Amino acid sequence: MSISLQKGQKVSLSKENAGLSKVLIGLGWDEAKRSKGGFFAPKPQPIDCDASALLLKDGRLTDKTDIVYFANLQHKSGTIQHMGDNLTGAGEGDDEQIIVDLARVPAEYDRIVIVVNIYQAMKRNQHFGMIENAFIRLVDGSNNREMCKYNLTENYSGMTAMIFGEVYRHNGEWKFSAIGQGTNDPGLGELANRYI
């Protein structure tokens, strides 16, 4: 049975799921309905949300190759794989997915932070207040069973990026923390700088 998480809640992944190895991290969102703006108004551009995974050593991002995103789909260790960019967020279910082989993540990495930013948010005048039904969920890769899900329900108007959650190692077991923190970072580079 999937656990529904609240902001700030943590859950053990290893303890409840014996032999857990591969985890699929699914992220989803929908574009909120926008007014057309009149007959001659330009058609609004679709909102392009990009999910990324930041691999931290002792809580710090030490190398840009430790960022897995649409332009670097696989971590150098081979243990984290981004399944590709969804440019519109249209459709049911996960919009982007990241697969993590927890059993093989090198020991020096203690945290994997999952973030989402809006591509060219400033230029396009877009923000997370224009997004609804955002979620992050973790699925056991061996049986496709959803272990936990966190629905982001706050109003994130004006926020251009989001720290959805993190998978982290604690006392030899993997845990997940639901974060749901909005930021004003204009892009992935600035978001990543928070962890340097």
Q: Which secondary-structure segment (H or E) carries 11? A: strand 10-12
Question: What is the structure's pLDDT at 36?
Answer: 61
The residues, ordered by sequence, that sit 6+ positions from 17 with a Cβ below 8 Å of its Cβ are 140, 147
Q: What share of the chain is helix, strand, coil (3-state, %, to 5)?
A: 10, 45, 45
Domain boundaries, the chain: 3-193
Convert the pLDDT of each residue in 4-23 to its tens digit: 999 999 999 988 777 889 99
Q: What percent of the chain has pLDDT over 90?
A: 79
pLDDT bin (cut points 50, 70, 90) of residue 1 is confident
Residue range 3-193 in CATH 3.90.1150.10: no
Convert the pLDDT of each residue in 176-185 to its tens digit: 999 999 999 9
Select the more confidently predicted residue: 17 or 92. 17
Convert the pLDDT of each residue in 106-150 to its tens digit: 999 999 999 999 999 999 999 999 999 999 999 999 999 999 999
Question: What is the structure's pLDDT at 98?
Answer: 97
Q: 45 near 124, Cβ under 8 Å?
A: yes
The model carries a pTM of 0.92
CB-based burial label for 91 (10 Å; 0-12, 13-18, 19+): exposed
Instruction: Report how far residue 12's alpha carbon sits from residue 136's, in angstroms, rounded to the nearest whole number.
Output: 16
Instruction: Report how far residue 194's alpha carbon sits from residue 57's, in angstroms, rounded to the nearest whole number.
Output: 14
Beta pairing class for 145-152 and 3-5: parallel
User: What's phi and psi for 81, nearest 5 deg?
Assistant: -130, 120
- Region 21-48: mean pLDDT is 80
